[in-house]
Amino acid sequence: MIPNPTQFKRDVAREVHNTTQRKNLKHVTGLIRERRNAAFAAIEDGEGLREIGKAIKQESLSRLPELLEQLESNLTRKGIQVHWAETTDQANQIVLEICRRRGITQVIKGKSMVSEEMELNPFLAGHGIEAIEADLGEFIVQLAEKPPSHIIAPAIHLNKEQIAELFEEKLGEPYTVNIEEMTAMARRVLRGKFQSAGMGVTGVNFAIADTGTIALVENEGNGRMVTSVPPVHVALMGLEKVIAHIADLPPLIRLLCRSATGQSISTYFNWISYPRRPEEKDGPEEVHLVILDNGRSTIYADAELRETLDCIRCGACLNICPVYSRIGGYSYSSIYMGPIGKILTPQMAGLETAGHLTGASTLCGACVEVCPVKIPIPNLLLRLRQEANQPTAAGKEIVKGAGSKRSSGEAMVWAGWKVLHSRPAAYLALTRLAGLAGGLLPQRVGPLKQWSKFRKPPRPAKRTLHQLLKERPHS
């Protein structure tokens, strides 16, 4: 998926009028918000917990190269094979090579946003390998031939009637809107796949350097199935997922589950530290970890933008965002949607292709209030808008595509604004003129056209504030 400003405008214009989707999203995001708030209210020091979460992530990032090496050496020592990929292409190739070496033609997957980033499923399909999503939400969107529309709840935009139609059409199952029956259908279909697949693919919630452990959070049991039944397990992670100490896992898991679903802990919290050992009867014979960069090391280079990498992918910012709940996940044309997507995607894809996403915000700041690791999303949005608009010498860009949104017309307007606001006489003269002749300004052409498309055109007051104040009787 490649974001595109024209497409974005078109999609938003359509989706804000998609009343079914808006109703579905309003209902579901509202419910998750309530559960999240209740889960935080139930603990004594939610704010302190968020501070600790932030500190753990910041400290881990400050030692990132060292921790990644420590993780690699601990995992390798225990027989888990570690691979490094600079790009999603490289990461896909790594997975493909493992499949080819073992003659694997069917892969079963747990939920993984990095695999979505890699577009792994279509890549594998192009090489004759079937990838099946096992998480129920992912399974549903895969049937619909779509990516997830939400980080945590992939099929959040669909209601049960829509899903029932999908199951009827794609699985040949009898139409039912009974959610238990629908879940049982998925269980039936996927049980066989867990047993026949040659490889299980998952994401990684946290990778722990000091013990060499991959931690996975899930509720359905598909993550355990995928990492226990097939002979090969491949875990995919963005390089920011490493933390230093296993002892720092408890606060992070508290934050993640409470923020994502309002649970105090997920049903399964799986810690994987070895492939199957000689005396063991089950578990994968091979475990691989793919560490993906894909632009993260560039984000890392800037101390302010680095906070983007604190994200633990809980999705709380999506659930509270007034924009997300009105336009839905697909409008962003980006794997990462909502507030986190608006800061992550432009940095990964570049401001020239995804810079417009930084404007898809009211800067209301609700996302910061709920972020478990306190990422200052509005500040980062502003910073990225600046990066997109400021003149940047080639080769000196901090963010890919810096300066790409700069327009000479807009730059001139602001230069004029600066002149006016630093010369009182010129300012007074212009505001008076605007008061006298402002009503005559053409409303449907030039810069006012965009503004007045959805709003009442501005009409300057006849008398300026300065004039009114001057005429006010002195007390």
Please give the sequence-ordered ranges of beta strands (E in DSSP) within 163-249, or none if there are none: 199-202, 206-208, 213-218, 232-238, 242-243
Q: Is 365 in the site for other proteins (CB under 8 A)?
A: no
| Smaller CB separation from other proteins, 52 or 448 | 52
Q: In the complex, what is the shortest distance from the CB of residue 43 to other proteins, in angstroms, rounded to a whole number?
A: 7
Determine the Cα–Cα distance for residues 349 and 50; give it in Å rounded to an integer. Answer: 29
Q: In the complex, what is the shortest distance from the CB of residue 311 to other proteins, in angstroms, rounded to a whole number?
A: 17
Q: In the complex, what is the shortest distance from the CB of residue 291 to other proteins, in angstroms, rounded to a whole number?
A: 8
- Residues between 78 and 97 with contacts to other proteins, criterion CB under 8 A: 78, 83-86, 90, 94
Q: Is 305 in the site for other proteins (CB under 8 A)?
A: no
Determine the Cα–Cα distance for residues 411 and 230; give it in Å rounded to an integer. Answer: 58
Determine the Cα–Cα distance for residues 2 and 366; give it in Å rounded to an integer. Answer: 27
Q: Which of 10, 14, 27, 127 binds other proteins (CB under 8 A)?
A: 27
Q: Which of 124, 143, 163, 371 binds other proteins (CB under 8 A)?
A: 163
Q: Is 324 in the site for other proteins (CB under 8 A)?
A: no
Q: Which of 17, 172, 277, 445 binds other proteins (CB under 8 A)?
A: 277
Q: Which of 129, 239, 289, 335 binds other proteins (CB under 8 A)?
A: 239
Sign for the pseudo-dihedral over CA of 312, 315, 317, 323: positive
Q: Is 4 in the site for other proteins (CB under 8 A)?
A: no
Under a CB-based contact definition with an 8 Å cutoff, are residues 150 and 28 in contact? no
Please name the residue ranges forming H helices in 283-407. Answer: 296-300, 316-320, 324-327, 338-349, 351-354, 366-370, 377-389
Sign for the pseudo-dihedral over CA of 45, 50, 55, 60: positive
Q: In the complex, what is the shortest distance from the CB of residue 362 to other proteins, in angstroms, rounded to a whole number?
A: 25
Of 52, 31, 26, 43, nearest in space to 251 by CA: 52
Q: In the complex, what is the shortest distance from the CB of residue 406 to other proteins, in angstroms, rounded to a whole number?
A: 26
Interface segment toward other proteins; rule CB under 8 A; list 148-156, 330-338, 396-404, 407-415: 148-156
- The number of CA neighbours under 13 Å toward the Cβ of 135 is 22
Sign for the pseudo-dihedral over CA of 346, 350, 354, 360: positive
Backbone φ and ψ of 129, nearest 5°: -115, 130
- Residues between 240 and 259 with contacts to other proteins, criterion CB under 8 A: 244-251, 253-254
**What is the residue-wise DSSP string for 32-73?**
HHHHHHHHHHTSTTHHHHHHHHHHHHHHHHHTHHHHHHHHHH
- Residues between 168 and 197 with contacts to other proteins, criterion CB under 8 A: 179-180, 182-184, 186-187, 190-191, 194-195
Q: Is 147 in the site for other proteins (CB under 8 A)?
A: no
Q: Is 199 in the site for other proteins (CB under 8 A)?
A: no
What's 206's DSSP letter?
E
Determine the Cα–Cα distance for residues 225 and 136; give it in Å rounded to an integer. Answer: 13
Q: Is 102 in the site for other proteins (CB under 8 A)?
A: no
Q: In the complex, what is the shortest distance from the CB of residue 179 to other proteins, in angstroms, rounded to a whole number?
A: 5
Q: How many residues bind other proteins (CB under 8 A)?
A: 103
Q: In the complex, what is the shortest distance from the CB of residue 458 to other proteins, in angstroms, rounded to a whole number?
A: 42
The Cα angle at residue 213 between residues 211 and 218, in degrees rounded to 5: 145
| Smaller CB separation from other proteins, 202 or 222 | 222
Under a CB-based contact definition with an 8 Å cutoff, are residues 67 and 209 in contact? yes
Q: Is 207 in the site for other proteins (CB under 8 A)?
A: no
**With 0-12 CB in 10 A as exposed, 13-18 as middle and 19+ as buried, what is 280?**
exposed
Q: In the complex, what is the shortest distance from the CB of residue 11 to other proteins, in angstroms, rounded to a whole number?
A: 24
Determine the Cα–Cα distance for residues 231 and 101; give it in Å rounded to an integer. Answer: 13
Question: Which run of H or E residues covers position 270?
Answer: strand 268-272
Interface segment toward other proteins; rule CB under 8 A; list 260-268, 324-332, 380-388, 414-422: 260-268
- Residues between 33 and 52 with contacts to other proteins, criterion CB under 8 A: 43-45, 48-49, 52
| Smaller CB separation from other proteins, 274 or 427 | 274
| Smaller CB separation from other proteins, 3 or 230 | 230
Q: Is 137 in the site for other proteins (CB under 8 A)?
A: yes
| Smaller CB separation from other proteins, 8 or 40 | 40
Q: Is 103 in the site for other proteins (CB under 8 A)?
A: no
Interface segment toward other proteins; rule CB under 8 A; list 152-160, 325-333, 352-360, 361-369: 152-160
| Smaller CB separation from other proteins, 250 or 365 | 250
Q: Is 312 in the site for other proteins (CB under 8 A)?
A: no
Residues whose CB is less than 8 angstroms from the CB of residue 261 and which lie 6 or more positions away in sequence, other chains included: 32, 35, 36, 152, 219
Backbone φ and ψ of 401, nearest 5°: 80, 15
| Smaller CB separation from other proteins, 7 or 183 | 183
Q: Is 469 in the site for other proteins (CB under 8 A)?
A: no
Determine the Cα–Cα distance for residues 107 and 115; give it in Å rounded to an integer. Answer: 12
Q: Is 272 in the site for other proteins (CB under 8 A)?
A: yes
Q: Is 154 in the site for other proteins (CB under 8 A)?
A: yes
